[in-house]
Structures are given as structure tokens and as C-alpha cells.
Structure 1
Amino acid sequence: MEQRTGLYHNTPYQHTPTIYDRIQIGKGTTILPGKKDPAVAHLIDHVLEHGYVILPNLFTPTEVSAANAELARLEALESSGPASQGGRNPFEGFQTKRIYALVDKSRVFDTFAINETVMKLNDYFLQPNFLMTSFHTVNIGPGSKAQEIHTDDGLIALPRPRPLMGIGTMVAIDDFTAENGATTLIPGSHLWDDERNPKREEMIPAIMPAGSMVYFLNTLWHSGGANTSQTWRRSMTVQYCQPWIRPYENFTVAMGWEDLDQVPQRLMRLMGFSTHDFMGYVDGRSPRAGVEMRKKRLIEWAFKEKEKGKMSKL
């Protein structure tokens, strides 16, 4: 019997789990459970019941110190993007600084995105080959108001109970306290149906020391907290999504960037050179602006390589 293989790969196609494997959690969320590693079974059970779990001291003081120093350096650079100097809308937070696309900024941050405990949790809640959908900082300044209460799948117009689309995490680079803007969440709200509306008084702060993480389903109601202290509160958010939340063809890579100005705007949007609210951004900007940023950097790199070549011949 002929064995089917994936495009340009020698591995067999994975059989997609059927709808009969799906389980419903309360009235709000359905999941296709994956491997339940015994090492994280108790954490999985906590997430199933409460919608989140705090992972204390997940990262070492050395890792946190290195991240803090690198973030301080990046915040001083114009190349870190416009949001690095302050939010541009109420959702970002006008007194909140964000540095997007951390994978493009420094290798210091890699360890925060691929932590073994988090990967094992994702192996249960998400399907194989899950993706990272967002990785950026959230630096909440003194005087910041509480963020709008939201779910991270709020842009996906599907009724509850709905399939779990992804996972959110917040990594504390500074201690999270009730006063300095710790992430607030409503335990158990991943179980709610569409008739239940969140209230601010139902929220609790995710109080945890630097180096810790709060891990939560993206059907959980949460928000950034108000910062009533006199200091900034640094953190990073790493968000993951199901492997099928992307198009079959990666048009933004397949399309030659030198020809973009010749492409009809409608077609550009269909190919993904566009955003849907916050979805699809490049370094906090539109994909089209991101291309121009990348082209500029490539030109600068080419000049540097040319100069290196000249120097090596002397």
C-alpha cells in the first residue's frame, strides 16, 4: 500500500484528529487533547479547571537579568519600533511601551519562547506543529490604566463553546504586584458561555516574582492591570496558536518584494500584506511597512559586506 508523504518531506501525513476526539470544557471551550506528559499533568489539570496556571521561577535570575539589560538597550533605539516609546491606542496603553518581533531583535530572548515546561503544556492543549503567533514586550508605566478586559481569541467570531485557538503567556521580567500592573484574570472564565459578561471586580492579579510565567487559554478573560506604583513593570508575552491558523501558501515570502508596487492593493491584502486589527503586524507596523524596513536593512547589510570585501583585499 502506497504511503502518502507531505510536500517535500519524507514523513507520512499526520492524520487529523476527528471531531469525536474533541472534549468540551464547561460552556466556553473545546479542545483536542494531546499528549499528557506526567511531568506536567498537575499543571494541565489546573489549567483545565481554572483556565490558567502560574509557573513560579520558571527562568533563572541570570536569564532574567540578561533580558532586562537587553530590553533597556532596545528601548533606547529608534529601530525598536514606534510602540517602544509608548502605546498608540487605548488597547496598547498610552503609558505602555512595547517592543514587537523580539525574535528579530536579539537571541537573548530565545529561551523564553521554547521553555520545556511550556512546550509540554502546549503539546496537550494545542495540536502538533503549533506555532508562535506573537512575541513582544509589555512595559507598563506609572499611571497606566487597566487595559480593556478581553480574550486573546476575541477577534475570531465564533460562538462559545468554541475550539481553543491558542495559548497566551506573560513572563514577569520584573516582579508582578497588585500595584504595578500585574496581569489580571478571571479564574474559570474559560468555562463561560456568550451570555456571561466579565466584570472588573471578578478579576484577580497574577502576583508572581520575576522569572515566573502565567500560562492561560485564550478563551480566558483577562487584561493588563493598572499601574498605581512609581516604577515601570517589564514583561514579555509569548503567544502560541494552532498549526492550521495560517494559509496553505506563504505569499508574503513567495512574492518578490521588488514587484510589490505593481500588485493591486486588493490582491496585496488577500496575500497577507495587511492586518486585521492587531493580527498580521510586522514589528508593530503593517506588513507593507515591514517589507520596506527589511529592504533598507538588507541594503545596509550589503554595503557592509562590500566594505568588508574591500578591506580583506588590502
Structure 2
Amino acid sequence: MKNTESNATTSAYTKNPRSENEHSVDETVVQQSVDPPPAYDNTSNDPAKQSQAAPPVTPQVTQIVTVMQPKLGSLPVQCTCSKCHQSIVSRTELSNGLAVWAACLVLVIVGCWLGCCLIPFCVDDLKDVTHHCPNCNTVLVSLAHSMSTATVNIVRIPAAKENAEDEILECLRRDGVAVVTGMYTRSHVEQVKQDLAPHFDCDKIDQSGFFPSTTQRAMGFFAISRACIDMAMNPLLLAVANRLLTSTYTFYVGSEKKTVQSKPVISSTVGFRINPGGQQQELHRDDTDFHARPCDWPMMIGCVIALTRTHKNNGATLVIPGSHLWEDSNRAPLVEEAVPAELEPGDAAIFVGNLYHAGGSNLTVDERREIAGIFMSKGFYRQAENEYLAVPPERCKELQLSSAELRVLGYGISQPACGFFKYKDPMESVFGIVDDETVIL
């Protein structure tokens, strides 16, 4: 089944053009009474589709960040392989990297020739470490040590790249996160920034304490402006969400075998303004609303779009690459393990729902960090934001939302019959829309 929703909207600002024929939906067949596999590859009953949905990622331009890594070093770790999806204990390899040769150079300068000769063979703490899967030999992570620090790479993929969709999916499976550069135009993000400003200004302090008092929010994008709607309907974002979160389900009604499909929907839309002096948010996973298990299959994804330049000092979103594969439910995330996803306006960080992340601290005195968050979940889960109160049918009609926009918002049926109204598809009973995707009950 082809994704026909991706290019459903047009606007005054320039988007990255993508043909709807480019996006195919990878099927996930869910068997009844069988626990879903802890994997990030959508599979089907067709043996030809049992392999990875995307080809191995090729070398990318990466964001290099130096960070303390107390949990990941030269010792093997238990995790799930991002390629073969088996629970494994990693195999490690040590190699002499920049830190070793820098130490040797220092010893040569001070005249300690013996120490220079011994370091490459004896001082493992300075060596680069590579973790491999013992089953398929996939490189899980490479750590380039510099004294007691490690280098973590966040892959950066240009949105206009021909195979950007495949490479984003591969990064999400392996790292849990990818930065997509140029995903939105500057004029688009500037318009969204203007549209969200009055909503930021009137936001009240979060009484729960989950969001720091210096954070202002704006929610319910579909009721705010056309620019906000189009931000949520970005073709590349929808293509990635459809391939990762679309589910195909096979069941019997009597002797008749049926197969249906459920596409992802908006779970929530939230804008954030982090003011100078803003405190760091606690590291967390977004899929806790769905009572997810450690290393479970993906239930949702998040997309954080920079409306202003975001960097470490003004509170760029912190992520722990690979934390979506942690199997130990008792393992707490550490701030020292997190790296900032630095973005220019129009760039986006896409991540899976079980990746540990948090809004960073704004250490500046005169910079506001503003971002927009689009979160999508599987179509048969309850949405985190109640979209039917945020954008009721009357408001949808005023906005003249398209059928694709209504379905992404959650007004369509998740097959076979989840979300009916008067035992009809709301697309027909509420909006009078009957098309190829309208479900007849």
C-alpha cells in the first residue's frame, strides 16, 4: 500500500518536494496472542520482507560531541542488536586512536622513551573501543576515547538528499535519533514562530513540575494556524512515521481471513520557549504514556524542529543515543551520558519514543530557545493530547482541513473499527467524506 497522505497539503512557503510514489509502507504483521518482537524493523509474512527495510547507512556528516560515558566503555554490554534484533552481549575491540598517539607524543617531548613504547600496548583506558554484535558482526557503536571521555556521533542527514527517508529510518533503528538538516524553510519556521508567540506569552507555569517554570508552551497546533498545520504535515516526517509506525493486522471472522492496516496519528503538538536561565528538564522517555516495556517495538516518534538557533548553551535538546536499546528496566539515565542535538532554524531532530532525552539548560542571559514538537503514535493508541477537544469538528470545518489532515489528526478509523461514531467512520458520519480510505462498517 502506498503512502498517499504525504503530499496532501500545499502552502505559500517552499517545501522539500517529494513524490508520493516514493513512499511505500513497510508492513508490521501483528499475530494475535504473540508478544511483539523487540525490534525496529517492520516485517511481514512475506519472507522477502524479513530483511532490513532500509539499506545500511553510508558514512554521513556527523555532529561530534565529547561527553563522559561512565556506562559504556571497554567492557561488553548487554543490548539488542540494531540489525539482527537479537539480545546479545557485545564483543569489544580496542585500537590505538588519537588519545594514545597524543600521549606518546607528550612522553617523547619529555624524554620518556620507555613510556612511549609501552603506552600502545599497556594503557587500554586511552584506546578507542568498538562494540560489535557477535552474531552478525554489526558495529553497534564506536567510542573514540580522549583521556576519560568518549566521542558520540549524532548523524546529520540533509532533508533534500535522495535517500534521506531510508537513512533516517536506519539511524532511528540503530541510534534512536537523527538530525535532519533543512527540513523546513526559514520562512516557514519564522511564520510558525510568529503564530506561536501569543500562545507562549499567555502560558501558565506547569504545576506538576515536569516542565521548569522558565519554560513556556503552546499546544494544539492544528487549531492555531495553517503554517502550524503544514509543519505537522511535512511529507518527509509523515513518510518516516508511516514506515515505522504503520501496522498490518491479520485476523479471522468465522472462516474469513481479513487483513487491515492502521496508520499513525498525531499524538501531540507542543511548542516550547526556554527562556534565559531555564533549568534542564529531567531525562525521560515519551512512550511511558503507553506503558511501554524496555526495548519494545516503536510505539511513537518525536520530531523537534528548531524555530531559533539551538545549541548547548541555550538548552538544545539532550539525547542519549542508543538508550532505546537498553533492556535493563532498572537502569536510570545519567546526564553525563547525554549529548545536545544542536540545530539551525529549520533543522529537526527525529527520535523514537523510548529514547531518553530532555530539554537542556539555557545558560545564556539574552537568548530564547524556541522549538516546535510534533509527536506521532500508532493509530490504535490513545493520543496524549486530546485532539478532538483541541480541534473539534466545527473548528476542523472552519479550517477546511483536508481528508489527509483529518486522518492524521485522528478522525479516521483505525481498522478494523477503532474510533467509530454511530458505528460509522467519522470521516463519513461527521465530515461527509467518502473516499478510498473511508472504512465501511
TM-score (structure 2 length as normaliser): 0.48
Aligned residue for 1:180? 314
1:120 aligned counterpart, secondary structure: helix
**1:137–1:190 distance in 2 versus 1, CA, 3 Å:** same
Aligned residue for 1:17? 29
Answer whether contact 2:41 2:173 (CA < 8 A) is retained: no
Verify: 1:222 aligned to 2:357, yes or no.
Answer: yes
Alpha-carbon distance in structure 1 between the residues aligned to 2:43 and 2:357: 23
Please give the root-mean-square deviation of Cα atoms over the aligned residues, in Å. Answer: 2.9
Aligned residue for 1:88? 207
Deviations 1:146-184 (A, max 9, x none): 101100012333432323211111111011100111100
State which drifts further: 235-244 or 65-74.
65-74
**1:182–1:16 distance in 2 versus 1, CA, 3 Å:** closer
Higher strand share: 2
Aligned residue for 2:382? 246
Alpha-carbon distance in structure 2 between the residues aligned to 1:203 and 1:180: 15
How many residues matched?
234
Answer whether contact 1:33 1:125 (CA < 8 A) is retained: no
Verify: 1:54 aligned to 2:190, yes or no.
Answer: no
**1:16–1:32 distance in 2 versus 1, CA, 3 Å:** closer
Answer whether contact 1:190 1:219 (CA < 8 A) is retained: yes
Aligned residue for 2:191? 66
Per-residue deviation, 1:95: 0.6
Aligned residue for 1:234? 370
Q: Which amino acid aligns with 2:182?
A: N
**1:158–1:113 distance in 2 versus 1, CA, 3 Å:** closer
Aligned residue for 2:336? 201
Please identify the structure whose Cα radius of gyration is greater.
2
1:162 aligned counterpart, secondary structure: coil
1:207 aligned counterpart, secondary structure: coil
**1:33–1:110 distance in 2 versus 1, CA, 3 Å:** farther
State which drifts further: 208-217 or 120-129.
120-129
Per-residue deviation, 1:21: 11
Aligned residue for 1:256? none
Answer whether contact 1:22 1:32 (CA < 8 A) is retained: no
**1:124–1:72 distance in 2 versus 1, CA, 3 Å:** same
Aligned pairs for 1:1-314 within 5 A: 17-19=29-31, 23-25=37-39, 32-33=42-43, 36=53, 39-76=164-201, 78=202, 84-127=203-246, 128-193=262-327, 194-230=329-365, 231-246=367-382, 279-280=384-385
Alpha-carbon distance in structure 2 between the residues aligned to 1:52 and 1:159: 19
Alpha-carbon distance in structure 2 between the residues aligned to 1:191 and 1:50: 8
Alpha-carbon distance in structure 1 between the residues aligned to 2:297 and 2:188: 34
1:43 aligned counterpart, secondary structure: helix
1:133 aligned counterpart, secondary structure: strand
Alpha-carbon distance in structure 2 between the residues aligned to 1:159 and 1:21: 11
2:293 aligned counterpart, secondary structure: coil
State which drifts further: 199-208 or 98-107.
98-107
Answer whether contact 2:37 2:297 (CA < 8 A) is retained: no
Per-residue deviation, 1:191: 0.4
Q: Which amino acid aligns with 1:60?
A: T
Answer whether contact 1:31 1:164 (CA < 8 A) is retained: no
Alpha-carbon distance in structure 1 between the residues aligned to 2:164 and 2:364: 37
Alpha-carbon distance in structure 2 between the residues aligned to 1:149 and 1:39: 28
Higher helix share: 1
Alpha-carbon distance in structure 2 between the residues aligned to 1:112 and 1:33: 29
Aligned residue for 1:312? none
Instruction: Structure 1: give runs of 5+ residues left out of the alignment.
Output: 1-14, 79-83, 248-278, 298-314
Per-residue deviation, 1:246: 3.4
Answer whether contact 2:221 2:269 (CA < 8 A) is retained: yes
Answer whether contact 2:315 2:360 (CA < 8 A) is retained: yes
Alpha-carbon distance in structure 2 between the residues aligned to 1:197 and 1:95: 25
